[in-house]
Structure formats: structure tokens, C-alpha cells
Amino acid sequence: MSAFMQVYGPIPRQGPGTPEDVAWACARTELEPDARICDVGCGSGADFAALRAAAPEAEIVGLDPDLGLVVAAQTRLDDPSIRALRGVGIAGEGGRDPVTEGPFDLIWSAGAIYFDGVGPSLRHWRDALSFGGAVAFSAPVSAEDDAEAAAFWGGDAADTEATLDIAIAAAGYGIVARGRVPDAGWEAYYAGVLARCDALERVQDAELAVVIAGARQEAADWSRLRDRVGYALRVVRPR
């Protein structure tokens, strides 16, 4: 296991979010109890219980590229209707993604859609949706014309709320609902990260020390910039 995964793999969830985010999104799609759901970038399965609560008879397929996280996700709940598989948002030849495993009534992606981009992901996932199906996701956004906020995302030109909506429309989707991951979702995430850093602090390894230092700095930066960076929530459907 890499030094990065030593820090982030065992924590309760691998990104900011709350069960209430999932409930909010599912309620706005009017999800049927026996829906088919794909959780793209499922990590260790942090959202499986909330998805199950929203659709008690659903078949849930989680996709994540990391085998260790897939194993953790598959063993998280004793539920035969949940499958965790190695896969990504947009797969190459022979790989798994929502299109190969679909169709789905809901594609949920907590913080992972940015890996391939909102526009490319939504265009690709159109072919993974059943009739009337929806996509719900959280994605990084920052304040407009804010270099320090953009630097929080690694220097990329992070979307604002407005440019995110433009990208959604350009991909051929209409917006059903807009929201925001609350500070509580970030605070809980970083509490898990920092607790894991504390537990690993005595391990004498240069690579691990770099990851721990980066994780601590990221948590501090978010605390300072919390009013200028965050995760937007969107529920969207193809037009």
C-alpha cells in the first residue's frame, strides 16, 4: 500500500460529505425503492448505507480504481445487493465504468467526477442512464477570481458555482437541484484524516512523512478558506 493510501485508505470516508447529502440528492430524483444505483468513486463505501436507506430494495454497484478500497467497500455492509468493483468514471478498452455496468436509475459520485471532468463524465454517463435516470454529484468549486482558493485545488482553474452550471448545460443536462456540502461534511472528513495522521506520526518513513505533512497543511488551508472553497452539489438529468 502506498504512503498516500496508508493515510487515506483506512479513514471512514475518503472525501468530504454526509449521509444527508445522499438523502437530499435521492429525494430530488424521486428514486424508486428498487432502483439500480451506481456509486462512482465509492472509496471504502461510505455512502452505501445512505443509498440503501434511500432505496431499500436497490441494487447498488460501487466503482473505485483502488483494490484496497474496493475490498473495504465490499465488506462494509453485509448486503448481497451491493457489489463493489474495480472501475472508474470513464474506462478504457476492457475496463469497468457506469456504461459497462448500466443502465442505472441514479449515478451518484461524491467528489470523484472532477477526475475526468464534469463535462466529459456527464456526456459519457448519458449512455449509462435508464429512461428518466439522473446523475447526482459533488464537485470542487471556489470563489470567482480567487487565486488562493484555486491554489487549494492544486492550482487548477476550479469551477465557480456559475461555471459548473455552464458545464452541465453544455453537456446536455438540465439541473434538477442545487446544493452545497455543509461544513460538517468537511470537518468530519478532516477529523478522520488528522486522527490517522496522529496514529502514523511515529512511523519513521520519509515518504509517509511528506504525505502526513501535506494532509495537515490541507486541513489547515481548508479551515482558513472554508468560505471560499467547497463542494457544490448538483442533481441533473439529460435534456
- Beta strands 104-110 and 36-40: pairing type? parallel
- In whole angstroms, give the CA distance from residue 109 to residue 7: 22
Q: Is residue 232 part of a domain?
A: yes
Angstrom distance (rounded) from CA 232 to CA 163: 11
47 lies in a domain? yes
Show pLDDT as tens, one digit a residue, over the chain (239 residues). Answer: 699 999 999 999 999 999 999 999 999 999 999 999 999 999 999 999 999 999 999 999 999 999 999 999 999 999 999 999 999 999 988 899 999 999 999 999 999 999 999 999 999 999 999 999 999 999 999 988 888 998 898 876 679 999 999 999 999 999 999 999 999 999 999 999 999 999 999 999 999 999 999 999 999 999 999 999 999 999 999 99
Q: How many domains does the chain have?
A: 1
Q: Residue 81: inside a domain, yes or no?
A: yes
In a domain, 86, yes or no: yes
> Which residue range(s) make up the domain with 95?
3-186+220-238
**Residues constituting the chain:** 239
Cβ atoms within 10 Å of 64's Cβ, excluding its own: 24
What is the bridge-based pairing of β-strands 229-238 and 173-180?
A: antiparallel
Residue 201 maps to a domain: no
